Amino acid sequence: MASISLPKNSLPSLLYTQAPKTSPFSQNVPVLSRSSHSQFHGLRLSHSASVSIPSPSSSLVNIMISAKVNKGQAPPSFTLKDQDGRTVSLSKFQGKPVVVYFYPADETPGCTKQACAFRDSYEKFKKAGAEVVGISGDDPSSHKAFAKKYKLPFTLLSDEGNKVRKDWGVPSDLFGALPGRQTYVLDKKGVVQLIYNNQFQPEKHIDETLKLLQSL
């Protein structure tokens, strides 16, 4: 009969060897699909998608982004394509107040509510002499379809690659999986007078911006 020789004192080490510990923060967490009407209003994922939540000792710290644009500052300029493929620069709005709102994506529940709320109050913004500009990472053709479907009377800009979002320091939500929903109000001189962030109450952005505009 064959036998196996083990080195002296090896048996205890075999018996008590433990499996590597895993952090609960590094597991893949399933996320509801778009068709299931997730509570995450701006999240648009496929049925099989999952969000990898990072370890708190690594990239989680990097998600806590400090705003690069603060109240009282002029934000970085940009030049982007609108829903009709035309080039639009921030400098175009110099001399009048402008509301710049960053949102996660076209055709998601919260973003649709927010866009329609801006649409329904658009006359109030015009009365205040202000322009409204929405920015997301969708391409111009997506913006065009979105604007046409909901009869949006304002400009939508395509920030493909999210460069402007990063330049302005718009923070993400849900451990970085969900692009942030943040609104800025710039005065006639192009200086930020309000920064408002609220992912899950998209319509409140309209109330807060109008309140500020009426005080300028």
**Token pair of 189, please?**
């001189």
Our answer to whether residue 116 is catalytic in this structure is: no
Instruction: State the CB neighbour count (10 A cutoff) for residue 125.
Output: 21
Helices (H), ranges, 43-201: 60-63, 109-120, 122-127, 140-150, 163-168
Burial level of 199, CB count in 10 A (0-12/13-18/19+)?
buried
Which residue has tokens 């109450």?
A: 201
Q: What is the Cα–Cα distance from 95 to 80, expressed in whole angstroms?
A: 19
* Catalytic position from the list 111, 132, 194, 210: 111
Angle at 65 (CA atoms; ends 107, 54), nearest 5 degrees: 80
Q: Which residues contact 75 (CB under 8 A, 6 or more apart)?
A: 69, 90, 100, 167, 168, 184, 186, 190, 192
Q: What is the Cα–Cα distance from 82 to 14, expressed in whole angstroms?
A: 65
Active site residues: 111
